[in-house]
Amino acid sequence: MTQPANPKHYGITSPISMALPKQSDLVQTQKLVQALKPFGVFEEELELQRRILVLGKLNTLVKEWIQEISTSKNIPPSLIENIGGKICTFGSYRLGVHTKGADIDALCVAPRHVDRSDFFTSFYEKLKEQEEVKDLRAVEEAFVPVIKLCFDSIEIDILFARLALQTIPENLDLRDDNLLRNLDIRCIRSLNGCRVTDEILHLVPNIENFRLTLRAIKLWAKRRNIYSNILGFLGGVSWAMLVARTCQLYPNAVASTLVYKFFLVFSNWEWPNPVLLKQPVECNLNLPVWDPRVTPSDRYHLMPIITPAYPQQNSTYNVSVSTRNVMVEEFKQGLAIMDEILQNKADWSKLFEAPNFFQKYKHYIVLLASAPTEKQHLEWVGLVESKIRILVGSLEKNEFITLAHVNPQSFPGPKEDNKTPEFSTMWVIGVEFRKMEGSELLNVDLTFDIQSFTDTVYRQAVSSKMFESDMKIMVMHVKRKRLHQLLPDLVIPKRRKNSTEGLRVVNEGSVDLSLDSDNSMSMPSPTGISSATRTPFSASPHRSTGTSSDSQGKTDTSGSTCSAAACVSESKSSSGSSPPRAHRRSGSPLHDENAKKHKHQEVHPQEEMDTSVDTCAAAVCPSEMKTLSPGTSPGSPLHDEQATKLRLEEESAPDSVDQTAEFSQASDFTALDGDVKMETQAAESDADWKIPVSQKLSSSDLSEVVLPPPNHVQVVKNSIKLRLSR
């Protein structure tokens, strides 16, 4: 092999190395391919052909529909025959890195006389007539309007863009910036996905090396729990741009070398310097672009990765201090593992080992969202998950917290016995606290952080008119040794002894989970095991922390009430489509909390009426999380993970931090050293709703009263307090 005399220049800088691959690099690349196969990242040829066939049928439907619309709008027959129209793909499918069962992101491109209203009416009806189409639904009011459907068992999201052209030629290049002229903002947003994807493919020196490297990095990111744009990590397009930049810097390298260079480059990257695939171009179309010199808010982005197509945007605006720190640390660990692999001291499988997230921290915040029906639950989840990053941002600003690490994977909530069936979802946030010198006790108040998060969710729910009664959020502080009482057996095996300390609750409403192909994690596991069976990563325990809160404000409006401990939902059998059922047991944190609540209600019935809680919700449709049968064979990646997890569980030492926590609606609290007290003072009395705010609050409390939301949803401030003994 000889090096080209005048190689094409890629990227905004010269390459770091033009070295050609050695034989050892090619051998390592083959080993990488073999290591990826058990995780299902490669689609079989038969399935790929079926996708191509489905897209062909969809493309034919689009052309037929546009001709029908053209006829109804009196377009001359001579033009109708060549009017055009087409389906373009983007995202992981267009990049060529989609996995088994992944959905397809598509764009319907139409000429200027076809309106968006036609797309959501006549084309929607045409799709409804197709036998192969199932689960058809339109989301016309979304930020990027979309029609979702399942075509011959393949999930497809279709966006719409009307170009200012009389006809749509087959060889249309959507990268042409002039196509954006005279378009409305929704069409520009819809076009952006295709334009960015096409630019990325044109900006890498070797597409096949890029694709294999990206498959490896995406799997690694999902296994390490850092693949989720909506939760403040990176989504698919951001990972693709980082890999593309690595390919530009090492244009002749093969995948095994590129994976190593990826970790080398970005473990040493000086953030917030932006990652750019090409120099931004100004098209004078007056569209907002990422430019910290012009836009002050852009200067505060922590990990900017800039899309290569006009208008250039930062794809990582959700990244927070904590999520960036977590990702940079993972880059460094990845680099260390790659050093071992390239020195033949470790296999590629080590790079894709799942971390023990539930052993990494000593303290966790658990969010639990519940709703009475599956449909409401799915709607409620999307909103709450989209706002979790707000809670993470608030926790980061607390002077005693150094890190708030949210796990992108969600879990079904525990089921309370003898209760009306509910559907619920949990998220877990690991928390690190600052080490305080010379202090025996540490009191941390997280009330404001929790309240800001729940207030935001409620306001969004009310304004979007998606609220339904009995949608609830519960927020709990849980010590590491008690997580096994809330999470499924497949995640954390139950301990032989149930600990009786370490959990506390804040009831703010209801939360739920949404899974999305790019934003949320549906992590591939070896031998067909679902994401719910992932094994956490082991790390040294960190210092524990606590929370405390003082004053609470209350707004009284008519609505439905919900207790703090009532938002739990049934999880399905482990042999079915979701993890095993986790019932609330005597001695468990939620059981103890319920018992104390009912005892308190008997002693102080009037006080309970005055603290009745109501919640509100909003909706975004999430996809369903599935769990397959957990059968594994010795020697498989999952078998090794489970063995490691069980060993870590046996070796983990009990927590040594004494703490006091109290959940209460009052402005004062009593600390109980060495134990945790949880109380929820929420009543389910209709009489309380009829009491005016002026009669329920003293004059000193009026400053805390917020104007009632327009649909009469109660909002009650709650407290979480912990006292930590050093």
Element (DSSP H or E) covering residue 511: none
Residue 168 CA to chain centroid, in angstroms? 36
Of how many residues is the chain composed? Answer: 726
The pair of three-digit structure tokens given for residue 599, joined into one six-digit string: 């005892």
Task: For residues 325-337, give the mean pLDDT.
Answer: 97
Report pLDDT for 722: 62
Backbone dihedral region for residue 101 (phi beyond 0: left; psi -120 to 50: alpha; all else: beta): left
From the candidates 105, 198, 518, 592, which is the catalytic residue?
105
Long-range interactions of 415-419: CB distance < 8 A, separation 24+ = 415/568, 415/569, 415/570, 415/571, 415/581, 415/582, 415/583, 415/584, 416/565, 416/566, 416/568, 416/583, 416/584, 416/590, 416/594, 417/583, 417/584, 419/566, 419/568
Instruction: Give dist(CA 600, CA 680) in Å, integer.
Output: 9
Q: Omega before 169 cis (within 30°)? A: no
Verify whether residue 452 is a known catalytic residue. no
Report pLDDT for 441: 72
Task: For residues 662-671, give the mean pLDDT.
Answer: 30
Q: Omega before 311 cis (within 30°)? A: yes
Q: Which of 665, 700, 669 is nearest to 451 (CA)?
A: 665
> Of residues 262 and 473, which shows the higher confidence score?
262
Instruction: Give dist(CA 428, CA 390) in Å, integer.
Output: 15
From the candidates 70, 92, 190, 349, which is the catalytic residue?
92
- Is 101 annotated to bind a ligand? Reply is no
Inter-residue contact 370 to 552 (CB < 8 Å)? no
- Is 218 annotated to bind a ligand? Reply is yes
Task: List 87's β-bridge partners, or say none.
Answer: 108
Instruction: Give dist(CA 284, CA 176) in Å, integer.
Output: 14
From the candidates 25, 70, 93, 103, which is the catalytic residue?
103
- Is 237 annotated to bind a ligand? Reply is yes
pLDDT tens for each residue of 615-638: 333 333 333 333 333 344 444 444
Half-sphere exposure of 354 (CA within 13 A, CB side): 33
Residue 287 CB coordination number (10 Å): 15
Long-range interactions of 315-321: CB distance < 8 A, separation 24+ = 315/229, 315/234, 315/235, 315/237, 315/238, 315/241, 316/229, 316/234, 316/238, 318/229, 318/230, 318/231, 318/232, 318/389, 319/232, 319/233, 319/234, 320/232, 320/389, 320/392, 320/393, 320/396, 320/404, 321/396
Inter-residue contact 412 to 569 (CB < 8 Å)? yes
- Is 715 annotated to bind a ligand? Reply is no
Going by pLDDT thresholds of 50, 70 and 90, the confidence category of residue 494 is low
- Is 227 annotated to bind a ligand? Reply is yes
From the candidates 10, 70, 190, 227, which is the catalytic residue?
227
Going by pLDDT thresholds of 50, 70 and 90, the confidence category of residue 438 is low
Instruction: Give dist(CA 515, CA 382) in Å, integer.
Output: 8
Going by pLDDT thresholds of 50, 70 and 90, the confidence category of residue 304 is very high
Verify whether residue 92 is a known catalytic residue. yes
Element (DSSP H or E) covering residue 579: none
Going by pLDDT thresholds of 50, 70 and 90, the confidence category of residue 417 is low
- Is 289 annotated to bind a ligand? Reply is no
Statement: the pTM of the whole predicted model exceeds 0.75 = no
- Is 158 annotated to bind a ligand? Reply is no
How buried is residue 317: exposed, middle or buried, by Cβ count under 10 Å (0-12/13-18/19+)? middle
Q: Is 26 in a helix, a strand, or coil?
A: helix
Instruction: Give dist(CA 403, CA 321) in Å, integer.
Output: 8
Give the position of tokens 């930020």: 143
Task: For residues 298-323, give the mean pLDDT.
Answer: 95
Instruction: Give dist(CA 684, CA 693) in Å, integer.
Output: 17
Mean confidence (pLDDT) of the chain: 74
Task: For residues 188-211, give the mean pLDDT.
Answer: 96
> Which ranges constitute the DSSP H helices of 398-503?
447-463
> Of residues 708 and 725, which shows the higher confidence score?
725
pLDDT tens for each residue of 129-172: 999 999 999 988 888 999 999 999 999 999 999 999 999 999 99
Report pLDDT for 495: 53
- Is 146 annotated to bind a ligand? Reply is no
Does residue 599 register a pLDDT over 80? no
Verify whether residue 218 is a known catalytic residue. yes
- Written as one letter, the residue type at 52 is I
From the candidates 118, 218, 370, 597, which is the catalytic residue?
218
Verify whether residue 103 is a known catalytic residue. yes
From the candidates 25, 118, 157, 592, which is the catalytic residue?
157
Does residue 611 register a pLDDT over 70? no
Verify whether residue 516 is a known catalytic residue. no
Dihedral, CA atoms, 211, 537, 40, 324, nearest 10 degrees? Answer: -30
- Is 105 annotated to bind a ligand? Reply is yes
- Is 516 annotated to bind a ligand? Reply is no
